[in-house]
């Protein structure tokens, strides 16, 4: 992976346009959206042309209190092998809790504390041991900060690299997001982190509303983010830079224009001679999860369970406030937590509508669907994936004899049965469950 170049996030909605983009060097694909045995024809054609493909995971939750799920690690590794990828990437985030069982459906920031760093480092080492290629981790965008943090972003990332040898995926749009939302200085972060560990860079668009920057991946890349790319470029020549776009896809010419603007920044001038981290850059036989000169990857021993328990309690209290309506933990900005809670519910509604486009049609259109789903989400936090969420939403409506139109209710019943393979519980079953819960 000596050089990736300039690339774009491959998405099914723009697959044809991506194939036609001139001078495209590589693509990144959301790992959970592809099946190793049934890769999209577009990706196969790109690979045949020599275009590199990197899987980008979103569901491992390496910053969570629990150890990484071995099945998820195996699935990510399978995709790396199937795509012939030089590395895989994930996020420095938590996405779920196990007690109570809750899914955020989104990347949430980990507290920059010693406890959280110890847990993250051990989880990263577990992932490195399981994966067939090197791992890079991305800094995430956040709407809020944790109270009582002990490290800066730069200190946190630096110590993570030094203790595990993991590579970094720096998202400059996320640096801007955190400047607006958390008052962090992007230049200070770039000055503090070990740029020799840089694997590649993300660039994306967003929008500011009410003093909050939303990292939407659905808007053009603003000049301020390109300026941050130039800041990074003045320090190091990145092995790869990638444009992310996940929604409201523009015409092909606009995508090409954004890539041209990114390429212009990357090729302008020369950075200081810092050797970027590359797969296979270590000596023959070296552990692919570490790189000499990046970090020793020294294992200080297992994390005490009491440490994981402390991290788990904090994350569970926060996630419960975000998705289950419990009180906001002390020290958090309550307004920002409310903004994040609304954003999580809205994302659930949007993703379920994409996975099950029949539901808005059955319910009479986007607005009635959204109103019904957001009402459901207030009392039903997500405990599994989005596909299960769609089924649970439909079941909840049917239990309450909704929608009111009998024909629509019959269509929803048929839709639910076809996918769940069962009959939705009748009212008497719901009452029995409620009584049993109260008795417990």
Give pLDDT tens digits for 114-157. Answer: 999 999 999 999 999 999 999 999 999 999 999 999 999 999 99
Residue 222 near residue 233, CB atoms below 8 Å: no
Quote the pLDDT of residue 437.
56
User: Average of pLDDT values for 297-323?
Assistant: 90
The predicted structure's pLDDT at residue 283: 30
Q: Are 430 and 396 in contact (CB under 8 A)?
A: no
- pLDDT value at position 280? 41
**Comparison of pLDDT for 274 and 60, the residue scoring more:** 60
By DSSP bridging, strand 94-98 and strand 101-108 are antiparallel
Query: Is there a contact between 256 and 21 (Cβ–Cβ < 8 Å)?
Result: yes
Q: In 3-state terms, what secondary structure has residue 259? A: helix
Are the beta carbons of 204 and 245 closer than 8 angstroms? yes
Residue whose C-alpha is closest to residue 281's, from 271, 289, 291, 273:
291
Question: What is the reported pLDDT for 421?
Answer: 74
Q: Would you call 267 exposed, middle or buried from its count of C-beta atoms within 10 A (0-12, 13-18, 19+)? A: exposed
pLDDT of 298 over the 70 cut = no
Question: Which range among 24-28, 179-183, 300-304, 341-345 shows the weakest confidence by mean pLDDT?
Answer: 300-304
Average model confidence (pLDDT) across the chain = 91
Report the phi/psi class of residue 50: left, alpha or beta, with left for phi > 0 and alpha for psi in -120 to 50.
left
Average pLDDT over residues 18-34: 96
* Cβ-contact 109, 93 below 8 angstroms: yes
Go through the chain and tell me how many residues it has. 440
439 has a pLDDT exceeding 60: no
Beta-strand relationship, 198-203 and 207-209: unpaired
Q: Parallel, antiparallel, or unpaired: how do β-strands 207-209 and 240-243 relate?
A: unpaired
Q: Is the pLDDT of residue 290 over 60?
A: no
Helix 386-399 / helix 406-420 crossing angle, nearest 10 deg: 140
Find the mean pLDDT for residues 310-328. Answer: 97
Q: Is the pLDDT of residue 429 over 60?
A: no
The number of beta carbons lying within 10 Å of the beta carbon of residue 433 is 12
Is-contact 176 189, C-beta < 8 A? no
Average pLDDT over residues 11-17: 96
pLDDT at residue 289 is higher than 60: no
- The pLDDT value recorded for residue 277 is 44
Q: How far apart are CA 202 and CA 322, in angstroms?
A: 27
Quick check: 436 pLDDT over 90? no
Q: Is the pLDDT of residue 286 over 60?
A: no
How does residue 284 score in pLDDT terms, banded at 50, 70 and 90? very low
What pLDDT score was predicted for residue 3?
A: 86
- CA atoms within 13 Å, Cβ hemisphere of 372: 26
Please give the sequence-ordered ranges of beta strands (E in DSSP) within 92-222, or none if there are none: 94-98, 101-108, 135-138, 167-171, 198-203, 207-209, 212-214
By C-alpha distance, which of 174, 170, 145 is closest to 158? 170
CA distance 26 to 86: 11
Q: Largest Cα–Cα distance in the chain? A: 72
CA atoms within 13 A on the CB side of 368: 13
Q: What integer pLDDT is reported at residue 432 of this predicted model? A: 55
Contacts with 17 (C-beta within 8 Å, 6 or more apart), sequence order? 249, 252, 255
Residue 423's pLDDT band (cuts 50, 70, 90): low
Helices 366-379 and 386-399, axial angle in degrees (round to 10): 90
């Amino acid at each position: 992976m000596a050089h990736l170049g300039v690339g774009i996030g491959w998405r099914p909605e723009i697959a044809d346009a991506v194939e036609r983009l001139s001078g495209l060097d590589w693509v990144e694909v959301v790992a959970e959206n592809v099946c190793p045995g049934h890769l999209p024809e577009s990706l196969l054609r790109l690979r045949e042309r020599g275009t590199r493909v990197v899987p980008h995971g979103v569901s491992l939750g390496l910053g969570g209190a629990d150890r990484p799920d071995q099945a998820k690690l195996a699935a990510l590794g399978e995709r790396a092998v199937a795509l012939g990828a030089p590395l895989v990437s994930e996020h420095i985030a938590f996405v779920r809790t196990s007690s109570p069982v809750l899914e955020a459906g989104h990347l949430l920031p980990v507290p920059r504390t010693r406890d959280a760093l110890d847990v993250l480092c051990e989880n990263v080492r577990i992932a490195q041991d399981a994966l067939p290629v090197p791992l890079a981790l991305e800094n995430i965008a956040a709407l809020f900060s944790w109270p009582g943090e002990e490290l800066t972003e730069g200190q946190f990332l630096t110590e993570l690299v030094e203790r595990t040898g993991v590579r970094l995926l720096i998202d400059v749009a996320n640096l801007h997001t955190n400047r607006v939302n958390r008052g962090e200085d992007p230049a200070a972060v770039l000055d503090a982190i070990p740029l020799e560990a840089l694997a590649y860079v993300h660039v994306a668009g967003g929008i500011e509303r009410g003093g909050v920057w939303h990292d939407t991946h659905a808007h053009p890349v603003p000049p301020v983010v390109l300026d941050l790319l130039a800041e990074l470029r003045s320090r190091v020549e990145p092995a790869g830079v990638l444009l992310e776009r996940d929604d409201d896809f523009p015409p092909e010419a606009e995508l090409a224009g954004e890539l041209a603007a990114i390429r212009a920044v990357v090729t302008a001038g020369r950075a200081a001679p810092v050797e970027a981290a590359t797969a296979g850059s270590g000596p023959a036989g070296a552990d692919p999860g570490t790189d000499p000169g990046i970090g020793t990857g020294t294992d200080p021993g297992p994390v005490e369970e009491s440490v994981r328990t402390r991290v788990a309690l904090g994350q569970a209290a926060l996630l419960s406030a975000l998705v289950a309506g419990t009180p906001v933990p002390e020290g958090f900005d309550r307004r920002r937590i409310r903004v994040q809670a609304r954003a999580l519910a809205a994302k659930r509604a949007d993703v379920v509508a994409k996975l099950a486009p029949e539901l808005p049609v059955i319910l009479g259109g986007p607005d009635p669907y959204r109103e019904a789903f957001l009402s459901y989400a207030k009392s039903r936090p997500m405990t599994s994936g989005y596909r299960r969420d769609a089924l649970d939403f439909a079941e909840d409506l049917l239990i309450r004899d909704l929608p009111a139109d009998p024909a629509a209710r019959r269509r929803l019943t048929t839709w639910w049965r076809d996918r769940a393979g069962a009959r939705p519980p009748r009212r008497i079953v719901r009452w029995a469950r409620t009584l049993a819960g109260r008795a417990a």
